[in-house]
Amino acid sequence: MDDAAFWHRLQFAFTITYHYLFPQLTMGLAWFLVYWKWRALRTGDERYAAAARFWAKIFGLTFAVGVVTGIPMEFQFGTNWSGFAKYAGGVVGQTLAMEGMFAFLLESAFVGVLVWGEQRLGPRMHFLAALGVAVGSWLSAYFILVTNAFMQHPVGHTVDGGGVLVIQDLGAYLLNEWALIQFAHNQAAALVTGTFAVTAVGAFYALRGEHTRQASMYLRHGTAVGLVATVLVAFPTGDAQAKIVAKYQEPALAAMEGRFETGPMAEITLIGQPNVKERRLDNPIRLPGLLSFLAYGTFHADVRGLDAFPQETWPTNIELLYYAFHVMAGLGTIFIGLMALGVFQRVRGQLESGRPLLWVLMLAFPFPFIANTAGWITAELGRQPWLVYGLYRTDQGYSTVVSSGDVLFTLIGMAGMYFVLGLVYLYLIGREVFHGPDHPIQPSPYGESAEAKVTIG
Amino acid sequence: MLTMFVVLDGWDIGAGALHFLVAKTDPERRQVIAAIGPLWSWHEVWLVAAGGTFVLAFPELMAVSFSGFYLALWMVLWSFVLRGISIEVGGHINDSLWRSGWDFVFAVSNVLLAVLFGTALGNVIRGVPIDGSGMFSMSLFTDFTARGRVGILDWYTLSVAVFATVLLSAHGATYLRLKTVGPVHERSVRLARLLWPVTAALFVVVSVETSVVRPELFQAMFQRPLAWISVVVIGAAVWALATGLRGRAESRAFAGSCGVIAGLLAGAGASLFPVVLHSTLSPEHSMTAYSGATAERGLRTALFWWPVAVALALTYFFVIMRIYSGKVRPSQDTQGY
C-alpha cells in the first residue's frame, strides 16, 4: 500500500470513529426518553417528566455534534474515495439516500421539538416526538449498517458491462444476513453505552447525596436495562456475529484470534501478543476447544489459521485487529459482571448505599465507548484488504487525483476542529450534569413567539 | 433536491451572513438565531439527503467532481461544522463573552458558505479541466483567467460568488422581515430593499460575463422548454418580490424570493443540460448527465421508494413549519439560554 492510501484511510478512520462516539449515545438514550415520556404520560408523575427533560438536553447536544460530524462522512465518499464511489455508488447510494430521506429527516424534524417543544406541544405530542426521534435514529442505523454489511458481505448486486456494481435485488440487499446480525449486535451495544451513561449520572448524584429521587431512578433503570443489554451484546448477537465472520471472513477470524496455524480443538486466546513476523502468539493464555465450539458449534471442528490463506488476503493490520477484538470481548464480559452485580445489590436494597460499587459505576461510563470503537475497528480491519469483501480492494478505492499533502492538510484541520469541539461538548455536558435534573421547564432559547402558541392534536 | 436545500438553507445562510448588520444588541442577535434555530439542522438534512441521492444517481459525477474540488469541498464541510456548532453551543451559556464569540463564528461561517456555494456554481457553469482520463484536479487558483488550466478561483467564479452572497443575503433579509418584529424587522426591511436591486444589477453583470465565458449557453437556453419555464417562474417571482417589498405583503415577498432562487438554479441547470461538467480543455471530455449517471436498473429501483420518501419529507416539512410559524420577538428575559 502506498502513502496516499494510508492517509486516506487514516482520515476516514479518524472522522468516522469520532463521529460514532455521539450516535451510540443518542441511540442508547433514545429509548430511555421514550420510556420516561410514556410513564410521565400514563402516571402524570413529575419525576419521569423531569428525567426526560434533563436527558433530552444531553441528547440534544449529543445529537447536534453527531449531525455536524456526520455531514463530512457522506462527502468523503466523493472527495477521498472516488474510486469506490464510482464502483459501488449505484448500490450503496441506495441506502445512503434512504438513510437521509427516511430516517434522518424524521429524526432531525422532531429532535428540536423534543428538546424545546414541551410547553408548546401537549404531553401526548411530545411523547410522539420522542418516539419519532428514537425510531428515526434506529432506522438511520439500519440503513448505514446495510451499507456496511454490503462491504462486508456483498449480496443483491451484479457487475455491469462497464465493470461497476449495479443493484440487482433490492430486497436481498436490504435484508442481508450480515446486516440483520450486525444491526442487532450494534444496537445492543449502543444501548449499553446509554445505560452506562444513565447509571453513571445516577451514581454521581447518589455519591454526592443530591437529587436523590432522580439518582435512585437512574440507578434502578440503568442497571436493569444494562444487564439485559450487556447480555444481549454477547449472546445471541455477539455469538451470531462471530459465527457469520467464521462463515464468510475466515482470515479475519484467524487474525482476530491471533491464530497462525490450522488445526482442530482450536483454543480461544485470553491474553497474548501476536508476533506476525515469527507467525506466533507470544506469552499466550488459552482455553482449548472453545474457538472451535464458538465458531462451528463443536469442540473438534477444524478452525483454519492464517497459514491456510495466501498472504495477500490477510488483514493488513493483524496486531491492531487482534487487540481491538480482545479489548471489545474483554470489556463486554466485564460489563455483564458489573451490571449483574448492580442488579444483585439492588435486589438486596443496597445499590444506593454501597459506595465502592457506586464509584465503579460512576467511573465506568467511558468504557462502553471504548468497547464500541474497538468493535468497529474489529469489523473494519477484519474486512481488509478488501473495500467490498472479495470484490474490490481498498487500495483501488481512494481518489488518485488528491495528493497525500492535501489529505494530510484536511486531516490536521479536522483533528484540530474536532479537538475543540470535543472540549466544548464535554464542558457543556459537565455543566448540565452539575446543574442537575430538578428544575422546572426552561424557556426555549429560540424565544417564545406570541402568535405561535399552536398546539397540534 | 439540491434546489430545495439551497432555497431552505439559503435563508439561514443569508440571515446568518447578515447577523452583525441586522442585529446590533445581544437580545437582537438571539432573535435572529431564534428565527432559524429550530430549523437549521433540519435544513442541513436536505443536504445530506441530496448527497445520498447524488451518490445513488450520479456516482461517477460525484466521484469526479468531489475529488476534483477537494480543498474547496473541505472548506465547505468545515464551514458547516462551525456553523452548526455555533448555533447549538452559542445559546447554552448565558454569558456575553461566550455568546459574542460564537456569534462571530456563526456570521463568518455563513458568509464563507455563501461565497463557496457561489464559487461552486461558477465552476459548474464555467467548466473544469477534465482531461482524457475523465478526471480532474484543480488547485485553488492558477492565473485567474477563465480558460484552459483553470483554478477554482478566477475572475468569473469570484464574481459569481459575490453575486450568490448578495443574493442569499437578500433572501435572508426577506426571511427575517417575515419572521421578526422590532428593530431587527426594521433593519431587515431596509436591507431587503437595498440588496434586491443590487442583486438585480449584479445579475446583469454576471450574465454578461457568462456570455463571454460560455457563449453557447444562451443559445441553448432559447431551445429548451424547461429554461423557458424557469424564465416565466423568475418573472412571476420578481413581480411578487417587487410588490411584496413595496407593500406589507411579507409572505408574498418571501415566496417571490424563494421563486427567484429556484428559478435561477433551474434555468442554469436547463441551459447546461445534458452536459453536467463542462471540460475547459476540450468539449469531448465533458461529462454528460448520461455518462455520469448510474445504470438504469439502479435508478428504476430507486424510483420505487424515492417518491414515497419525498412525500414523507414534505409532510414533516409542513408539520414543522406549522409548529414554528409566527413571528419571533426580541426576548425580554435573557435567562435560561
Closest CA to B212 of B150, B156, B269: B156
A61 and B92: CB-CB below 8 Å? yes
- Render pLDDT for A191-202 as a digit per residue (tens, 0 to 9): 999 999 999 999
A101 and B53: CB-CB below 8 Å? yes
The set of cell numbers assigned to B146 is 477563465
What residues contact A184, with CB distance under 8 A and at least 6 apart?
A232, A236, A237, A240
> In the predicted model, is pLDDT for residue B30 greater than 70?
no
pTM: 0.84
- Render pLDDT for B174-225 as a digit per residue (tens, 0 to 9): 777 777 777 777 777 788 788 888 888 888 888 877 777 777 777 776 777 7
| CA–CA separation, A49 and A440 (whole Å) | 10
Q: What is the pLDDT of residue A77?
A: 83
Torsion of CA B129, B130, B131, B134, to 10 degrees: 170
> In the predicted model, is pLDDT for residue A109 greater than 80?
no
B78 and A94: CB-CB below 8 Å? no
For chain A, the residue count is: 457
Residues 204-233 of chain A whose Cβ lies under 8 A from any Cβ of chain B: none
The set of cell numbers assigned to A164 is 461497476
Q: Which of A85, A167, A417 sits opposite B63 (nearest CB)?
A: A85
pLDDT band, very low/low/confident/very high, at A365 (cuts 50, 70, 90): very high
Q: What is the pLDDT of residue B134?
A: 66
Q: Is A448 exposed, middle or buried (0-12, 13-18, 19+ CB in 10 A)?
A: middle
Of residues A434 and B237, the one with the higher pLDDT is: A434
Choose the weakest-confidence range: A70-79, A202-211, B29-38, B267-276.
B29-38
Q: Considering chain A, what percentage of its residues have pLDDT values greater than 70?
A: 95
Q: Enumerate the β-bridge partners of residue A388.
A: A392
Number of neighbouring beta carbons within 10 Å of residue A175: 14
| CA–CA separation, A411 and A272 (whole Å) | 33
Closest CA to B121 of B148, B156, B145, B149: B156
Q: At what angle do helices B26-36 and B2-17 cross, to 10 degrees?
A: 180
* Mutant choice from A19, A57, A101 vs B, greatest count of B C-beta within 10 A: A101
What residues contact A293, with CB distance under 8 A and at least 6 apart?
A299, A301
Q: What is the pLDDT of residue B1?
A: 47
A85 and B62: CB-CB below 8 Å? yes
Q: Which of A82, A106, A117 sits opposite B323 (nearest CB)?
A: A117
A113 and B323: CB-CB below 8 Å? yes
Tell me which chain B residues have a C-beta less than 8 angstroms from the C-beta of A91: 298
The set of cell numbers assigned to A285 is 493464555
CA B218 to chain centre: 22
Q: How many helices (H) and strands (E) does chain A have?
A: 16, 6
What average pLDDT does this structure show over B159-176? 81
A36, B9 Cβ separation under 8 angstroms: no
Nearest chain B residue to A77 by CA distance is B63
CA distances from A312 to A322, A386, A393 (A): 18, 10, 11
B81 and A72: CB-CB below 8 Å? yes
A170, A98 Cβ separation under 8 angstroms: no
DSSP per position, A368-397: HHHHHHHHHHHHHHHHTTEEETTTEEHHHH
What average pLDDT does this structure show over A161-166? 78
> In the predicted model, is pLDDT for residue A418 greater than 60?
yes
Of residues A106 and A390, the one with the higher pLDDT is: A390
Tell me which chain B residues have a C-beta less than 8 angstroms from the C-beta of A160: 295
Among A72-76, A241-245, B102-106, the range with the most confident prediction by mean pLDDT is A241-245
Closest CA to A353 of A215, A207, A202: A207
Number of neighbouring beta carbons within 10 Å of residue A267: 18
A105, B312 Cβ separation under 8 angstroms: yes
pLDDT band, very low/low/confident/very high, at B337 (cuts 50, 70, 90): very low
The shortest C-alpha distance from B232 to chain A (Å) reads 30
Does the ipTM surpass 0.85? no
Taking the Cβ of residue A115 and every Cβ of chain B, the question of whether any pair is shorter than 8 Å is answered with no
Choose the weakest-confidence range: A78-82, A317-321, A385-389, A447-451.
A447-451
Q: What is the pLDDT of residue B33?
A: 63
- Render pLDDT for A48-59 as a digit per residue (tens, 0 to 9): 989 998 999 899
The shortest C-alpha distance from B201 to chain A (Å) reads 34
CB pairs under 8 A between A and B: 264
A222, A195 Cβ separation under 8 angstroms: yes
Tell me which chain A residues have a C-beta less than 8 angstroms from the C-beta of B300: none
Q: Which of B37, B38, B56 sits opposite A93 (nearest CB)?
A: B56
A270, A286 Cβ separation under 8 angstroms: yes
> In the predicted model, is pLDDT for residue A457 greater than 50?
no
Q: Which of A105, A116, A170 sits opposite B301 (nearest CB)?
A: A170
H/E segment holding residue A165: strand A165-167
CA B332 to chain centre: 33
* Mutant choice from B28, B69, B74 vs A, greatest count of A C-beta within 10 A: B74
Q: Enumerate the β-bridge partners of residue A286.
A: A269
Q: Is B82 exposed, middle or buried (0-12, 13-18, 19+ CB in 10 A)?
A: buried
Residues 345-374 of chain A whose Cβ lies under 8 A from any Cβ of chain B: none
For chain B, the residue count is: 337
Nearest chain B residue to A449 by CA distance is B328
A439: phi then psi, degrees, rounded to nearest 5: -140, 150
A165: phi then psi, degrees, rounded to nearest 5: -80, 140
Q: What is the pLDDT of residue A162?
A: 73
Q: What is the pLDDT of residue B11?
A: 47
B193, B244 Cβ separation under 8 angstroms: no
> In the predicted model, is pLDDT for residue A145 greater than 90?
yes
The set of cell numbers assigned to A237 is 448477537
Identify the three-state secondary structure at position B328. strand
| CA–CA separation, B118 and B163 (whole Å) | 7
Choose the weakest-confidence range: A27-41, A79-93, B230-244.
B230-244
The shortest C-alpha distance from A40 to chain B (Å) reads 23
Q: Which residue has the cell 434522518?
A: A104
A74 and B52: CB-CB below 8 Å? yes
B312 and A106: CB-CB below 8 Å? yes
> In the predicted model, is pLDDT for residue A304 greater than 80?
yes
Tell me which chain A residues have a C-beta less than 8 angstroms from the C-beta of B49: 97, 100-101, 104-105
The set of cell numbers assigned to A370 is 471504548
DSSP one-letter code for A153: S
Sign of the four-CA dihedral A417, A420, A425, A426? positive
Classify the phi-psi angles of B151: left when phi > 0, otherwise alpha if psi is within -120 to 50, otherwise beta: beta
What residues contact B37, with CB distance under 8 A and at least 6 apart?
A112, A445, A446, B87, B91
Q: What is the pLDDT of residue A152?
A: 94
DSSP one-letter code for A149: H
Q: What is the pLDDT of residue B42?
A: 55
Instruction: Give all strands (DSSP E) within chain B, no chain letters.
Output: 275-277, 287-288
A318, A255 Cβ separation under 8 angstroms: yes
Choose the weakest-confidence range: A81-85, A256-260, B60-64, B274-278.
B274-278
| CA–CA separation, A193 and B324 (whole Å) | 33
pLDDT band, very low/low/confident/very high, at A441 (cuts 50, 70, 90): low
Identify the three-state secondary structure at position B128. strand
